Structure formats: C-alpha cells, structure tokens
Amino acid sequence: MKGKPNSAPIEIERKFLVIPEEWEQVKKSVPVKITQAYIHTSESVTVRVRISGEKAFLTLKGKTTGISRSEFEYPIPLVEAEEMIRKFCDKIIQKNRFCFKIDQHVWEVDVFEERLEGLIIAEIELNDEGEHFSKPNWIGKEVSLDPNYFNAVLIKQC
C-alpha cells in the first residue's frame, strides 16, 4: 500500500493466473492460512475482515480505477475478527498464501480452497502503474482488470 504524504493510501496491484504445471515445480515455503469475508461490498467501497495466520485485519477498499484504489487497513484483535465473520458474514474465502521476493518486489500467491479449489492467483504490489517488474515462469494470463478475479466477487462462489 503506497501513498503520497498527506494523501490516502493507494494500493497499486496487478493480478495474474498461475500456470499449474509450472507452480507444481516451485520450491515453496510454509504458507500462511487466510480466512477472509466481506462485511459490505458496493461499487464504491468494500469492507473486508481477514484472519491471516494469528493476526487479523479490517480493511476498507475504494473503487478500483485501472489497477489502483484507496486502501485503509487496520489490525484488530483476532477474537473480534472471528466474531465479525460469525455475526456479519454468510460466506468466507479460505486460501493459503505463499510469498516470494523477486528482485525488489514481493509476489503473493494465493492457492484457494474449498469451492474455489484449483484457482491460483499471484499478485504484485507496485509503486506506480507503469513500474517494471520481473515475471517468474509460473505467471500466466493477467487478470488485473477482470473483476471476476476480485476476492469480493469470488466469494459469491463460496
């Protein structure tokens, strides 16, 4: 999450499908188990609660323009995140996240579970929309602009 001084934090993110055959060959570290749900989704804002390992976060994301959007994320107590999910959310996304540092960037690869099993999406956060980065061989089709691959849309399949 980036942002200019005295401005809202901005997330600039590109998303790619992962090539399963190449992914199988990758040496992986232990993943972080992620559970996330959405308290509210609309065209202008999403409110997400996420449990990532033993940590929890409440995140507000603005409308996506290109590959950028405002993002505000706050750590919250784990027990409160669990209660929010239980009380306010009908569906959850379960996934395992693997992180890889390549050059100066970190790739986050989400391997989805349950009803989304088989879906693997890689994301990279950038400092600006035109920033150059290296793509590992397991990166496939870009889906950054396809809303069908936004987690707030994918959760409808859960």
5/70 Cα distance (integer angstroms): 14
Taking the domain 10-157, which CATH number applies?
2.40.320.10
Is 38 considered catalytic here? yes
Spans of all domains in the chain = 10-157
| Residues across the chain | 158
Work out the mean pLDDT of the chain and round it to a whole number: 94
Give the closest residue to 108 by CA, choosing from 20, 19, 32, 10: 32
Pairing of strands 10-18, 120-125: antiparallel
Q: Active site residue: 16, 38, 98, 149, which one?
A: 38
What does pTM read for this prediction? 0.93
pLDDT at 41 over 60: yes
- Position 4 scores a pLDDT of 44
Calculate mean pLDDT across residues 19-32: 95
Q: What is the pLDDT of residues 56-110, one digit of tens each?
A: 999 999 999 999 999 999 999 999 999 999 999 999 999 999 999 999 999 999 9
Is 138:19 a contact under the CB 8 Å cutoff? yes
